[in-house]
Structure 1
Amino acid sequence: MTVAVRSLTGAALDAVLGDVAALRIAVFRDWPYLYDGDLDYERGYLATYRDSAGAVVVGAFDGDRLIGAATGTPMEDHGEEFGAAFEGSGFDLEQIFYCAESVLLPDYRGQGIGHAFFDAREGHARALGRRYSVFCRVLRPDSHPLHPANYRPLDGFWRKRGYRPLDGVTADYVWKDVGEDAPTAKTMQFWMREL
């Protein structure tokens, strides 16, 4: 199979947001996010990318079908709770590019697309004059009842790319877990690398 990875901005970015929403709902339903998503929430959340002049969606296409996507924005354009996590950290938000979600259908994993997602977003961040690239991951205990026995975290992949967890830089983000009745806050740990 041949997958094309393209960076999308402006109208091209806007055109794929519906497909990005569907991918987020499907992929983040699995561990460790356990996200019980809905399209109404997704429309509001993804408006961040439509509204930010510095945003990018890196799309992975199998023919015309979007099979994976990675998003990013200047940090000051993303959610308040994420920017607030950096208060007192010594980092200037205007120097940070936030690599938000990376979602890829299971059949396409292990082919280098994850690296292409980071390469494209980091290149976009450099073109914007950003000094740092960050992302965050959800923290869940290994004792969680839905933790799969065969789960392999991506920490090694991220470390090879030069990312490290930022001590004390976390944000609480709220969503509804699969099988739960109401949304709850989850702690998200930020990882950073210098560009």
Structure 2
Amino acid sequence: MSFQELHFRIYVGIEIIPHIHEVSKFRVQYFKDYPYLYCGNIDYEKQYLQSFSVEPEAILVAAFDSENKLSAISTGLPLLCSSSILADGPEMFLKNGLDPKKIFYYGEIIISYKYRLKGVVRKVYAMQEKFAITKGFTSIALSTVVRDDFDFRKPQGYKDTDGLWRALGFTRTNMHFEFEWPTYDVNGNVTDQSNQMVYWTKSTEESSV
């Protein structure tokens, strides 16, 4: 299955609003997978995306298949926006010599199973990077979940994404933080847990996009 049959769209700010319900369902469906292990709630997701969409430089990149079914999403916003996951981000980056005002943050990227390993991530992130550059951002950041190598919840054959981020020009930093969400344990039960996260960064000034 090639991603060539997908058509990609980018929505900015309030343009995201008509897609909130569909994106919320998509997030809940796939965020339960490792390494997120997030037990999502449609109402919470809709509320989150509603507040997200009021940011004028917040973006949603969405891919649709030939039947117009949502097949991939990724979000992004300036680091200085009011997203709770970024609460400590500006101070951390400032201490590490990076201007928070110049950093664009990539949120989640979620791809339906049949389009994984088809080049969708590279396509989506190129669209986001082009947007960030046109808005004057000089750095891009993303964060990934840090799980133990021997985590019993890890599916057999799972490959982490560190190599992918490096191939896309990102460098893993030493900036770690914790973020709490309803998390599946090894028995499938759900409790609110603090999850370890780490930032990755990339300069747009050397971008070929």
Q: Same fold (TM over 0.5)?
A: yes
| Partners of 1:48 and 1:159 in 2: CA distance | 31
Q: Which residue of 2 aligns with 1:180?
A: 189
- TM-score, with length taken from structure 1: 0.93
Q: CA deviation at 1:45?
A: 2.1
Partner of 2:101, secondary structure, is: helix
Q: Which runs of 4+ in 1 moved over 3 A?
A: none
Q: Which residue of 1 aligns with 2:98?
A: 91
Q: Is the 8 A contact 1:83 1:93 kept in 2?
A: no
Aligned-partner residue type, residue 28 of structure 1: F
State the Cα deviation string for residues 60-94 of structure 1 (Å, max 9, x = none): 01132111111000111142452413422222211
State the Cα deviation string for residues 173-192 of structure 1 (Å, max 9, x = none): 11111233421111110000
| Partners of 1:59 and 1:164 in 2: CA distance | 25
Q: Which residue of 1 aligns with 2:40?
A: 37
Q: Which residue of 2 aligns with 1:122?
A: 129
Q: Is the 8 A contact 1:14 1:50 kept in 2?
A: yes
Aligned-partner residue type, residue 199 of structure 2: F
Aligned-partner residue type, residue 71 of structure 2: I
Q: Which residue of 2 aligns with 1:71?
A: 75
- TM-score, with length taken from structure 2: 0.87
| Partners of 1:181 and 1:80 in 2: CA distance | 21
Does residue 21 of the first structure (1) align with residue 24 of the second (2)? yes
Q: CA deviation at 1:49?
A: 2.6
* Root mean square deviation, CA, Å: 1.6
What stretches of structure 1 of length at least 5 have no aligned partner?
Answer: none
Moved more, 50-59 or 62-71: 62-71
Does residue 100 of the first structure (1) align with residue 103 of the second (2)? no
| Partners of 2:23 and 2:85 in 1: CA distance | 22
| Partners of 2:168 and 2:86 in 1: CA distance | 22
Moved more, 53-62 or 148-157: 148-157
Aligned-partner residue type, residue 34 of structure 1: L
Q: CA deviation at 1:55?
A: 0.9
Residue number among 158, 169, 176 corresponding to 1:170 in the alignment: 176
State the Cα deviation string for residues 85-138 of structure 1 (Å, max 9, x = none): 342222221100000010110011122111111001111111110000111000
What stretches of structure 2 of length at least 5 have no aligned partner?
Answer: 205-209
| Partners of 2:117 and 2:81 in 1: CA distance | 31
Does residue 140 of the first structure (1) align with residue 147 of the second (2)? yes
| Partners of 1:162 and 1:44 in 2: CA distance | 33
Matched length:
194
Q: Is the 8 A contact 1:48 1:77 kept in 2?
A: no
Partner of 2:53, secondary structure, is: helix
